[in-house]
Structure 1
């Protein structure tokens, strides 16, 4: 595998991360994950805009002269992923310096990126998945895509131990999002999702789904979903870059609707699939 590290495309085995890197010591960094369909990066500009936002919010210096989009495209090319399903991971940390909490002066950021094949969860898209509800113990800047993901890791491990696909966070009785997804519910044909705020990541797939809803005349409400209202939902789904649109058919021990992916979810899945095929030149 060829990766990108601080201005160079090199074999992954040649990369040497300093033990003093603030990403390693303090989780002081941000990242993005971008899907590639048939060698075409999906929603690239939206991902790069969110990366810039994360850098600004964390006050990490933007790496000088780095074209993140060009890096992502070159990683797809040099790893022979032009005709494959793949993902690109981009990470920027505050750089290498002695371990102190305050920002180190005159320290260039560390940039690391890779591309890898990706196997879409097609069977789960067809059948739907189980999720569990967990308390949202994360910090209050979930709108920043930080590499500090310990609460998400613990929640996702809890999901795995309960044979669930995802852990969905609940804060003060309100459903916010999943450990690596956004969350939507359908009530009487109307799609609800948590409004953008510091409590959730502004998901790229979430935005695409809301645009598809408008094109398909599916009413949308960006409004908090109460945990106590979930059993009354007709359909539930989680969305994300690697998740796309995933039907949720079970929450903890109870069944969503009739236990099958619902018509709104199916309509959105078809529309999303058609969109990615068009963007990839496959339709």
Structure 2
């Protein structure tokens, strides 16, 4: 694997990051994952816009413009021969003069920029064909979920425990409503309407979510943005999750209760087809 680290492309086993890096010590960093289809990047401009928002929220200065980021991503994908999969970008505040809760003076540190590319089946997957089985868990994450930080321990723990119990993922709940999956936005189909939680600091502002809502509206599907409960999920006609590497993921069961017919529903499947088709057309 060839990775990118602070301006250089090099083999993974030659990449070195300081043990004093605040991403390692404090989870002081952000990330983006951009999907790759047919060797091209999906929703890249939107991912960079969110990257800029996350950097600004953590007061980390941007280091490249659009064209430079695009050139880095394209070269990385080419060097690794990725045709279907993704590119992971992580930026941390960098290595400070010591371990301190205070952010170091920007003059004393430089952000660490790290990217790697990976090959992964995205379009034809067993989980997309059969639908996911979901377990609910309390949402115990911090309150700025709109910033795409590397603070992922609780999501990782919750999903790992769910997988060990025979589920495919978790949906998190807070104040009686569903917030997100472990790494996805969540949605229902009720009476032909698409119901999704509105944007706030409670959820990540998903790039796939935003694109899918545009495509759904263009097809005439009514969209209702509001919180919804687990009981509403159980009574829904269909349910699905969206993320960069699962696209539109059907959900067929929650807490051992079948959703709708218990198989991926027609609206979900159609939205998945539309998203993949449109993404291929617009990829760069």
TM range (shorter): over 0.9
Corresponding position of 1:181: 184
CA contact (8 A) 2:247 2:276 kept: no
Quote the Cα distance in structure 1 between the aligned partners of 2:234 and 2:253. 10
Say which SS state the counterpart of residue 3 (structure 1) adopts.
strand
Pairing of 1:1-283 with structure 2 (within 5 A): 1-63=1-63, 67-81=68-82, 84-97=83-96, 98-105=98-105, 106=107, 107-120=109-122, 122-279=125-282
Cα deviation, residue 117, structure 1: 0.8
CA contact (8 A) 1:181 1:240 kept: yes
CA contact (8 A) 1:129 1:248 kept: yes
Cα deviation, residue 158, structure 1: 2.0
Q: What TM-score results when the alignment is normalised by the length of structure 2?
A: 0.94
Gaps of 5+ in 1: none
Structure 1: 4+ residue segments shifted above 6 A: none
How much is the aligned-residue C-alpha RMSD, in angstroms? 1.5
* Worse overlay, 196-205 or 224-233: 224-233
State the number of aligned residues: 279
Q: What TM-score results when the alignment is normalised by the length of structure 1?
A: 0.95
Quote the Cα distance in structure 2 between the aligned partners of 1:52 and 1:180. 20
Gaps of 5+ in 2: none
